[in-house]
Amino acid sequence: MTKQEAAAALRHYAVLLELVGEDPFRARAFENAARMLETQPENLDVLIAENRLSAVRGIGKGVAAAIRDLNSRGTFAELEEARQGVPSGVIELLRVEGLGPKKARTLWKDAQVTSLAALENAIEAGLIERLPGFGAKTAQKFRVGLAFLKSTSGRHWRHHAVRAAESLRESLKDMAGVREVFFGGSLRRGNETVGDLDVLLIAEEGQANAVRTQVASLSFVRWSEAGHILRGELASGFRVELSVTAPDEAGARKILATGSKEHVRALQEIAAGKGYTLDPQGVGNVLRAGSEEQVYAALGLAYVPPPLREGSNSVFEAGSRTYPEPVRLNQIRGILHCHTTASDGHHSLRELAAAVIERGYEYLGVADHSQSAAYAHGLTPERVRAQWKEIDELNGELTPFRILKGTEVDILPDGRLDFDDELLAGFDFVVASVHSGFNMSEEDATARLCRALENPQVDILGHPTGRLLLERNGYAVNHTKLMDCAARTGKAIELNCSPHRLDLDWHYLALAEAKRVPVPLCPDAHHIEGLWDIRWGVEVAAKGPLTAANCPSTWSADEFVRWCASHA
C-alpha cells in the first residue's frame, strides 16, 4: 500500500467517526496523522520496516498499529467496524457544499436520508426545513449544491485521470498484436477535468480481432456491452471506452477519439462536402492514413494541435494559420508561490529549496500566507522579517541558487491588503489572493480584485476566481475588466497549477496573451510533491496557448525581480 492510500483510509475513518458522533478530536487526530504520513519523504514499507511510524509527529501507538494493518491486509479492525455502522450514501452527502458531518448525521438519524437521491426527494417534499437547525435557506443551498454535483457527475480531476490512464497503459501495451496504446478525449486535449478514458488500441496488420478478444477478457475491467466499442469501468471508478483499429485507419480514428465533439463535427461537414466519410462506422478511402496530419492534409486543412481542438471554429484551411508554441515544462526556470512550515506548508525553506535545486531549477519564490489567514497560521510582520533573515542566510549558502522573498497576501473584503505598503515593499514579489468573503456579486468581486491590482506593491493576482474544480465554482469575475485592469497596471495573473484549481481558466489565456498580461505557472505547493503540480499547469496552458515569453516562470530570477520592481 502507498502512503497516499493509507492516508486516504485514515481520512475515511475520521469521516466515519464524525458521522457516528464520536469525539471530534479523535477524528481530527486521524486526519492529522493522514496529512503527516503523506508528507513523509520515505515510502510506507521503509517507515514500517525501520519501525519509524511512531516517530512521525501526529502518529502515536494507535494510529501506527492501524497503518501497519492497512499495509499488511488493506484495512484495520476499527475501520471495518465503523463502516458497518454508517450507510455508504451518508458519506456521499458530505459532497454537498454547506453540508458537513453534523447536518449529515441529523439527516440520516432524524429524516432517514441516506443517499443524494433521498436528499433531493426530501428537499422537494419540504421535509428538510422542518428539521431542527435547518431552514428554507439551508434547503435552497443544498438544492444548488446538488445541481452542481449533478453537473460534475462522472468527471475526474486531471491528475487522477492521468494516473488511471498510465496504469491502464501498462496493462495493455505488452498485449500480443498491440502496436500502440493511444489515449484521446479530454485527457489528450489537456482539459482540467476528464470524463471517460477514451482508449484506442492500434493493432498490428490483421490482428484487430485477436486484440479485441484479449481486451474483452481482461479481468480488472467490468465490460458492460459488446459492439465495435468496448465500454467498461475500472475499479477506480473511471469509465473506459475502448476501440481497436487497424494501422491504416489510425489517423482518422485518433482524430475521432480525441474530439472535441464540435471539432469533429466541423471536420465531418468538410469531409462530407468533399465526398469523404469520417465516421466511427467507417472511414472513407481517401482518409485511410496512419497519421492525423495526413487526414487533415487530405481535407485541405491545417493540422490542429490536440489542446486547441475545442469548439466548432477550431478548423482552418491549410496554410491559413500558424499556432504559437505553448510553454514547455523544460522551459520553466523558477518555482513561484509555495508555502513553508511558517504558514500552512509541510516543509521548511531549506527542504523546499533542496528539492527545487535537485530538479535543476534556478530559483524558488516562497509566498506564505499573511496575518489575517489565521487558519493557515499566517505570518505577522515580525515573523515576515524573521523569514527574510533566514532567506538571506540560506541564499548566502546556496548561491547561485536563489530564494525569492514573497508573500501571498490576503485581499481584504474591500480590496485593501492584509499588510501595509511599507512591509510589502520589502518583498521581492507579492501575490495577492482572496481567501474569505466568497459571497460577492460579479461587480463587487471584480472591483475588489482590481483595487488590489492597483496597489503598486502587488505583482501577481493569485487564483483569480477561487474555484475548486468539481467542488465549487468560486466567485463570478468579469474577466475582460480584470484583464484590462492587469494590462493597465502592468500586473500578472497566475495560473494556479494545483490540479484542484487550475485557475486562471484556460479560456482566458488567449485574452491574457493578446493584452500582454503575463501568466506565471504557480504550483501553490504546500509540500514537496506539490511543487511538481506545475506539470498540470503546463498541460492546460497549451490550450491558450500560453507562450514561454509571456510566462514569468520561464524568466531568470533577475528578469522576474526586475519586472516586479518596474511597476512598484
* Residues making contact with DNA (CB under 7 A): 23, 25-26, 28-30, 33, 54, 56-64, 97-104, 129, 132-139, 141, 374-377, 413, 435-439, 468, 472
Nearer to DNA, 140 or 167 (CB): 140
The CA distance from 356 to 350, in Å, is 10
Residue closer to DNA by CB (options 137, 488) is 137
CB of 307 or CB of 464, closer to DNA: 464
d(CA 330, CA 521) in angstroms, rounded, equals: 13
Report, in Å, the least distance between residue 467 CB and DNA: 10
**Least distance to DNA, CB of residue 27, Å:** 8
Residue with the three cell numbers 480584470: 482
Residues sharing a CB contact under 8 Å with residue 215, sequence separation 6 or more, in sequence order: 172, 175, 201, 230, 242, 244
Q: How far is the CB of 56 from DNA (least distance, A)?
A: 7
What is the distance between the alpha carbons of residues 472 and 501, in angstroms, rounded to a whole number? Answer: 10
- Decide whether 19 or 509 has the Cβ nearer to DNA: 19
Q: How far is the CB of 52 from DNA (least distance, A)?
A: 12
Least distance in angstroms from the C-beta of 14 to DNA: 10
Residue with smaller CB distance to DNA, 331 or 473: 473
Shortest distance in whole angstroms from residue 20 CB to DNA: 13
Q: At what angle do helices 77-85 and 3-19 cross, to 10 degrees?
A: 40
The DSSP secondary-structure symbol of 364 reads E
Residue 130's identity, in one-letter code, is R
Please say which residue, 26 or 359, places its beta carbon nearer to DNA. 26
Residue closest to 431 by CA, chosen among 474, 373, 478: 373
Q: At CA 223, angle to CA 222 and CA 226, rounded to 5?
A: 170
> Following DSSP, what letter does each residue of 451-516 receive, concatenated?
HHHHSTT--EE-STT--BTTTB------HHHHHHHHHHHT-EE-EE--TTT-BS-GGGHHHHHHTT
Min CB(200)–DNA separation in Å: 38
Instruction: Tell me the backbone φ, ψ of residue 434, rounded to 5 degrees.
Output: -95, 130
Question: What whole-number distance in Å separates Cα of residue 192 and Cα of residue 498?
Answer: 10
Q: Give 215 or 411: the residue with its C-beta nearer to DNA.
A: 411
